[in-house]
Amino acid sequence: MISSEDLIALVRNYNPKTNAEKIALAHDFGEKMHEGQFRHSGEPYFTHPVAVAAILTEQRLDDATIITALLHDTIEDTKASYGQVAELFGDEVAKLVDGVTKLTNLQLSSRETKQAENFRKLFMAMSKDLRVILVKLADRLHNMRTIKAMRPEKQAQKARETMDIYAPLAGRMGMQWMREELEDLAFRVLNPEGRQSIIRRFITLQRETGDVIHRITGDMRLELEKAGIEAEVFGRAKKPYSIWRKMEEKEQGFSRLSDIYGFRIITQSEEDCYRTLGAIHQRWRAVPGRFKDYISQPKSNGYRSIHTTVSGRDGKRVEVQIRTRQMHDVAETGVAAHWSYRDGVRSHNPFAVDPAKWIASLTEQFDAEDDHDEFLEAVKLEMYSDQVFCFTPKGDVVKLPRGATPIDFAYAIHTRIGSACVGAKVDGIRVPLWTRLKNGQSCEVITAEGQTPQVSWLEIAVTGKARTAIRRALREADRERFIKLGRELARVAFDHVGKKATDKALETAAKHMRLNDRRELLARLGSAELTAHDVVQAVYPDLAPEEGDKVSPRRAVIGLEAGQSFERAPCCQPLPGERIIGITYRGKGVVVHAADCDNLGKYDEQPERWVDLQWNTGTHPAVYGTTLELTIGNDAGVLGRICTLIGEKKANISDLEFVDRKPDFYRLMINVELRDAEQLHSLMLALEAESDVAAVERHREKAPASIAAR
């Protein structure tokens, strides 16, 4: 275990003015609180907090963060209290320790709503003080380094959580080295055979080609000396998981991968970065499409660097990153650079982003998400995506995730522009809205008054901001459409019992059904959450017809035995006037099918179950639900006219469901209550004659499992 003296020495390497007494006190306090506790490996538990603090010294973080690391498990796992920590180490440290404790209690790998809510809490903690996440990431890194002591199933759970959440989060914060190590440690657990195969191939490659890194590094240094550029050159093979991911993405074998080596050149000035780029491109051939200038267009987390890929020795591609020392500090520590110290003073790195502004930009769109799944989708999109930089016609830069479209671009500028978008030009050429934007392209959004977001846009947009705005607009538009449809359904249903669907009647129904007002009732009626029968019955229970059969089975169907009940088969929904066949079921009575129902073929070898039936036309007429499938034009008033037409034919709509919505046509299922086959025939003729009805047919479906042959 690292002693307090050794830890203080690590801090003094970058901050000679550190409060050594306070760090020593925290070390002693933490060791005392955790006394008698042990890790799965059998080591004293306090070895873990000290190791976490040591990891944070590598990022040259301030005293408060180092002390928080030493105490981060005390409130949760020991008898230490928040007040005790605040009294000894101040409110700043106590709040940080409390924040880490709350994060530890979040089960980020859980599913659905709970996971989304925990992500929301994670981002809230980040917005208060980003150092909480820095400690948590270091905590996870040390746990992954020592994960072998855990049970196999626990290892797998922690590794998946690391791969899904903590590694992408570290990358999004600009701490690429930590992301790569977390991914590789998780890869070691989740796919040990895959990792070993990559390592074996590396060893074979080195045996065949020699030390490629040493040779190329030497060549680069020589070229820079010729150009009079003072710089440091480093080379390395990429991590096993990074190579594995490239193999999966490109669907290529190891032997076909080219850019498995990476080189980094640290220059003295920004000007030297571009001079270095020229020297590298002059000596080696640049690979088209693999150049990115993050110096002129930095990432949102402050990352600046020039990336290029060139063909090196033997045609091997190598990736080269060129940056200054200050840029390198931000690239290594990301947003943590804001708290970094150098030579005893807080480092004022001009390239370090303000953490408060960074997290505000990251979480701004999430506040508008009411739906848990949508929130989770937005978070993961934001965390996982690389960025592309596009330009407005005026030259302003818009940062978007890779794969973004002109729809995302429009909403990134302003929600109003996104909602009114009807087209786009990319580099002056008109393109479809589903076009994927590339780095450096110029995009012009074409808008029109009266345009509203379309359902199809949800399949095109990728950013959380765009998808949130589209969903919100669609919900509002749907609500107004559902209210209009609900009013028509209510009018027809009330007319059916000789009453008027007045505002007062609808308000009475809403109150009876415990809804806010008549608009909510109409919206639910239009969206098929309520049936018109329910609404009529709420106001006129004595007048509303009963759903289903109005007469007893013995009176409605002839041929049943005494006491035997029947039910209509949902696959064919037979109506009076049609020839019918009954199939007997133990304990279920008789299921009545239309004589031409395809499902009767199942019972050809069971003639003992067949019952010859016929409708009793001499009884008081019942009403039976029958489903019609309609394709209608997507024009104003069409659906209202359809509902009116159904009402004029003395039929009642009991349910309505949209199956498919396109810009020009809707396909929907309408369940209507009818007396017999003659009324059905008359209704279908009237619907076919309607000019806005493209198709109408009686819906038939397969029998559900509950009516399968036994």
Catalytic site residues? 76-77
In sequence order, the β-bridge partners of residue 625 are 673
Distances (CA, A) of 585 to 2, 565, 580, 581: 77, 11, 16, 13
d(CA 541, CA 546): 9
If phi > 0 it is left, if psi is from -120 to 50 it is alpha, else beta; for residue 338 that is: alpha
Three-point CA angle 141, 143, 145, nearest 5°? 70
Using alpha carbons, select from 109, 112, 124, 222 the residue that is nearest to residue 166.
109
Q: In whole angstroms, what separates CA 172 from the centre of its chain?
A: 16
> Phi/psi at 207 (nearest 5 deg)?
-65, -35
Query: Containing H/E element for 169?
Result: helix 167-172
Distance between start and end Cα atoms, the chain: 70
> Cα(351)–Cα(336) distance, rounded to whole angstroms?
12
Is 566:624 a contact under the CB 8 Å cutoff?
A: no
Task: Give dist(CA 170, CA 166) in Å, integer.
Answer: 6
Q: 3-state SS of 540-560?
A: CCCCCCCCCCCCCHHHHEECC
How far is 466 from 426, CA to CA, in rounded Å? 19
Rounded-to-integer distance, Cα 87 and Cα 77, Å:
19
Integer Cα distance of 551 and 455 in angstroms: 45
Exposed (0-12), middle (13-18) or buried (19+): which is 333, by Cβ within 10 Å?
buried
Could you tell me the two tokens for 128?
């208060």
Alpha helical stretches, state H, 284-341: 325-333
Give the contacts of 509 (CB within 8 A, at least 6 positions apart): 518, 521, 535, 538, 539
